[in-house]
Amino acid sequence: MKIFRADDSPFKPADLQSFVGGARTKLLASDDTHVNVHVYHVQFPDGARTNWHTHSGPQWLLVTEGSIRVQCEGQRHEDVETGDAVMIPPGQKHWHGAVPGTRGVHLAINVKVKTDWLEPVSDADYRGQ
C-alpha cells in the first residue's frame, strides 16, 4: 500500500502555457510501475480553465468541490457538480474549468496519458456564447 497524503504536496500555480485564470494544481498520486496513472488535484477560481487539449489515453474528472464546465470540440459545454464524474476518451479535443461565476475543484485521473496542449479557450467559448 502506498499512501499519498494531501498535505505532502502543496498546490502550485498551473502552467501559464496550458491554463488561464489562476488555476492551481498538484500531483496527488501516481503509479508508474503497474499501469501508469497520474492523479492531479486541480483548483479553478472563477474564470479559470485549461487550454484546449487532447490526451493520448482516457482521463476521468471527479468533481470534489463546486461546479466544473467541460466541453468537447463540436459539442455544447456541460456543467457538472460536486460528486459527478466525467470520462474524456483518448484523442478527444476538450477543455475543463470553473463554471463562470463560481469556482470548482476536480481530481483528474490520467491513465497512460500524454497531453498535447493547444490554443486557449476564448471568452465566448468559455461562456458558451
- Pick the stretch among 16-24, 35-43, 53-61, 116-124 that binds Mn ion (CB under 5 A): 53-61
Closer CB to Mn ion, 57 or 100, in the complex: 57
Distance (Å) of CA 4 to CA 29, 36, 108: 6, 16, 15
Q: How far is the CB of 88 from Mn ion (least distance, A)?
A: 5
Complete DSSP assignment for 62-86: EEEEEEEEEEETTS--EEEETT-EE
Number of residues that bind Mn ion (CB under 5 A): 1
- Pick the stretch among 18-26, 33-41, 52-60, 119-127 that binds Mn ion (CB under 5 A): 52-60
End-to-end CA distance of the chain: 47
- Pick the stretch among 7-15, 18-26, 55-63, 64-72 that binds Mn ion (CB under 5 A): 55-63
- Cβ-closest position to Mn ion: 59
Residues that bind Mn ion (CB under 5 A): 59
